Amino acid sequence: MYVRLRSEEYFEQQISSITAQSRTVGLLSVPYQTLWEQAQLYIQKKLDQEEAEQRSSEPATEHTDSGCETMSEEEDSADLWVEKYRPKSYLELLSDEGANRTLLHWLKLWDKIVFNRDRKVKQKAKVDSKNENRFQKKLSHVLNDGLDEHGCPQQKVALLCGPPGLGKTTLAHMVSTHAGYNVVEVNASDDRSPDVFRTQLEAATQMRSVMGMQPRPNCLVLDEIDGAPAASIDVLIKFVLGKDTGRGARSKKKGRGGGVLKRPVICICNDVYVPALRSLRQIALIVQFPPTASSRLAQRLLEIARKQCIRTDMGALLALAEKSHNDIRSCLSVLHFFKSRKKDVRLVDIQKSSIGQKDMQKGLFSVWQEVFQIQRPRRKLFSTILAKGDDRLQPMPDLNSLEMKFDDMSLASRMLGVLKTVQCCGDYDRLMQGVYENFLSMSFRDSRLEAVSLGLEWFCTADMLSHKIHATQNYILMPYQPFAFVMWHFLFASFSWPKITYPSTGYEVIVKEQKARQILRELMRGMAPLVRIHANPAQLLFDTLPLLLQILVPTLRSVSMQLYSAREKEDLNHVISVMIDYNLNYVQERTLEGNYIYNLDPNIEELALFPGQKPARLLSYANKQLISREVELEKMRRTEARLQTDTDATKETSCSNTVLPNHRQTLQPKTISAEMQCRDFFGRVVQHGKTPADRACTDEIVKSDIWFHYKEGFSNAVRRSVKIQDLLNSGGM
């Protein structure tokens, strides 16, 4: 019996190696040991803090000393605080919990295809607290939970949007590392021309890094996508939908068996309503970023301030958060700035400082809201912290209100407020469209319609201004545009919460107009030339087409064409020739219900009929079918006739000169008078009177080289005698 003896060092080594391995698969995102160290540090820090607090309660002179000490020590790190205090783990994220979870949930859906492990179905959802349920409900209407046939989530792209400084980029990075991806970032500083973009996309989603310690799958983060050229976004969309047929890509795709996007792509933008993103919006999971709660931000700021030993209080930080519109980045910069001036941060300082006065671009919706809503008078914001607590519950625009100083609702302040918001947004045309499409559904009191007509006159003015600006490039008129919004605000705003929809009617109308024009062009293209020269598009639309629709509907019975009376035949012929002249025909189409109908092609009914109007008379299905067939036949007949006349014309010319040129002469086949053969009922040749002489004939045939013998059920009917030497010869060849 042998017992293997090992030294204790060996065991320790083994254990350490196991723990090292377990790093990758551990349940915790941070290995136990580091966690332990962190905890130790944390406890240590806490002790230190308590000490410091004790000290701070002591006379101020002492405190400044210690402050200076830490400061000098901190000076060394030239890092921006934004970098320094970037959240290190998912739990530290400051952004809205809902948004975070939606993104993480979406990213986890990719596990199936990326890591090849099934998603754990949550079983304890019912047991969970109310909060959890509410979240689930909220989530379910944004995120499509199902997977498609490749095992990818339904929505292949996530689109994070929100104003700057809320931590979108941080969230994207954090979440994707948390879910075990390697982040590949493409932002505005990179070249984003379509070709480069495509290669980047392919590189990021179809390959994985071989170098490095842990080869993880990539997660592509496209930052600042609202600035990318529209062509690149088209590339992205095609790529995502798997119908990219770009150069070079095709050959690769074949090898891969259909290019399906197999890695998550996260896009980040500030403004979701950029025209270039329109089509992306439809396929992406959109995660809207609500502003961070100011209290939460202030809490974090307080922590940081404590770490940096800045003397401040919650009220000041809340004010700071409020003033910067919850922009984490700018808050930190301000704190950093105060720190470098070695000053305390007090409420007064915050109020005096000029931060938060920057051009804050608001989303379109909040601008519209501000136009349509009169702000309620605000309480003094910075007096007490207690008041703040209530304030958070108020609707969003309150938090975003611009002018802190104006707490009343005088006309002047309202005007300034609206003016400023609109000016900051700058996209006057779109804003105007939004106001235009929404103002009639607002609840304002105007029984005599004077406000409406005045408001519409202002719309006219605004339209004229913008037309002038665009037509003559005369941007000196630009500053006058926002004043129309002030006017609309005064006319249409109310206290109630406005329900605003995105203005899409204008765009839809343009699309429909283009479609109508396309139909008209199609019609014009095929019209008979003699008819065409007397028609122009406008005339067709006004005069001809509406009446044409009625002319094309004669009274026809639904019977076979042979049974038509002379008049009906005439009518039918008339309709057919009109339809050919105007390049119309009926085509069979399948409706959504699954039955077939005949529609005109080009569909001039769409051009001439208005909603709510029914054509006076309709042709039956059978009639339409008949007409459609006859039109085709007539067209063929006409082309034939034309060919005929052409050949006739050539013949005439050929007749005029008596001698035909050589190439025109054709061989005339001679008629051969064949003997009439008797056939029986089935068409078989009846042979009568088979004489022995005939038999002798057949024998002669058999004796010749090739003969024919009919054998039922046997296929090699033609036989030929071949000598063996022929075979050998051919083999030798």
Partner 1 sequence: MSLWVDKYRPNSLTKLDYHKAQALHLKNMVQQGDFPHLLVYGPSGAGKKTRIFCLLRELYGPGVERLRLEHMNIQTPSNKKIDITTVSSNYHLEVNPSDAGFHDRVVIQELIKTVAQTHQLDPSGQREFKVVVICEADCLTKDAQHALRRTMEKYVATCRIILVANTISRVIPAIRSRCLGVRVGAPNKEEIINILQSVCRKEGLSLPNELAERIAVQSNGNLRRAILFLETCKVQQYPFQPDQKVASHDWEIYLKDTAKMIVLEQSPQKLLQIRSRLYELMIHGIPSEIIFKGLLQELVKNCDMQLKTQIVEKAAFFEHRIHLGSKPIIHLEAFVASFMAIYKKFMEATVADLF
Pick the closer one to partner 1 by CB: 444 or 621.
444
Closest approach, Cβ 451 to partner 1, in A, equals: 9
Judged by DSSP in three states, 390 sits in: helix
Pick the closer one to partner 1 by CB: 529 or 731.
529
Pick the closer one to partner 1 by CB: 110 or 492.
492
Pick the closer one to partner 1 by CB: 135 or 459.
459
Closest approach, Cβ 237 to partner 1, in A, equals: 24
Closest approach, Cβ 502 to partner 1, in A, equals: 16
Bridge-partner residues for 222, per DSSP? Answer: 186, 267
Tokens 């040749």 label which residue?
Answer: 685
Pick the closer one to partner 1 by CB: 340 or 505.
505
Cis amide linkage into residue 602, ω under 30° from 0: yes
Pick the closer one to partner 1 by CB: 241 or 531.
531
Pick the closer one to partner 1 by CB: 471 or 685.
471
Closest approach, Cβ 462 to partner 1, in A, equals: 8
Pick the closer one to partner 1 by CB: 207 or 528.
528
Tokens of 276: 């270039």
Cα separation, 480 vs 432, in Å, equals 13
Cα separation, 572 vs 575, in Å, equals 5
Q: Rounded to a whole number, what is the distance in angstroms from the first to the last CA of the chain?
A: 82
Cα separation, 587 vs 601, in Å, equals 6
Closest approach, Cβ 539 to partner 1, in A, equals: 6
Bridge-partner residues for 601, per DSSP? Answer: 585
Closest approach, Cβ 528 to partner 1, in A, equals: 8
Pick the closer one to partner 1 by CB: 119 or 617.
617
Bridge-partner residues for 268, per DSSP? Answer: 160
Cα separation, 723 vs 279, in Å, equals 77
Residues forming contacts to partner 1 in the complex (CB under 8 A) are 436, 440-441, 446, 448-450, 452-453, 456-457, 459-460, 463-464, 466-468, 470-471, 505, 509, 512-513, 516-517, 520-521, 524-525, 528-534, 536-539, 541-544, 546-548, 550-551, 553-554, 571, 574, 577-578, 581-582, 607-611, 613, 616-617
Pick the closer one to partner 1 by CB: 296 or 532.
532
Give residue 154's identity as a one-letter amino acid code: Q
Residue 588 host element (H or E): strand 585-590
Closest approach, Cβ 340 to partner 1, in A, equals: 52
Tokens of 411: 């006309």
Closest approach, Cβ 274 to partner 1, in A, equals: 22
Tokens of 14: 């083994």
Pick the closer one to partner 1 by CB: 30 or 452.
452
Q: Residue 578, exposed/middle/buried by CB under 10 A (0-12, 13-18, 19+)?
A: middle
Closest approach, Cβ 475 to partner 1, in A, equals: 16
Report yes or no: 94 and 87 within 8 Å, Cβ to Cβ: yes
Tokens 């009919």 label which residue?
Answer: 710
Q: Are strands 718-720 and 706-708 parallel, antiparallel or unpaired?
A: antiparallel
Tokens of 712: 């039922």
Cβ contacts of residue 596 below 8 Å, gap of 6+?
A: 588, 589, 590, 621
Closest approach, Cβ 315 to partner 1, in A, equals: 45
Other CB atoms within 10 A of residue 706 CB: 9
Question: Half-sphere exposure of 612 toward its Cβ, with a 13 Å CA cutoff?
Answer: 0
Other CB atoms within 10 A of residue 183 CB: 17
In order of 370, 416, 431, 483, the CA distances from 490 in angstroms are: 11, 12, 16, 11
* Cα–Cα–Cα angle for 482, 486, 490, rounded to 5 degrees: 165
Q: Residue 368, exposed/middle/buried by CB under 10 A (0-12, 13-18, 19+)?
A: buried
Closest approach, Cβ 630 to partner 1, in A, equals: 14
Pick the closer one to partner 1 by CB: 406 or 459.
459
Pick the closer one to partner 1 by CB: 144 or 461.
461
Q: What is the DSSP letter of 445?
A: -
Closest approach, Cβ 450 to partner 1, in A, equals: 5
Closest approach, Cβ 169 to partner 1, in A, equals: 37
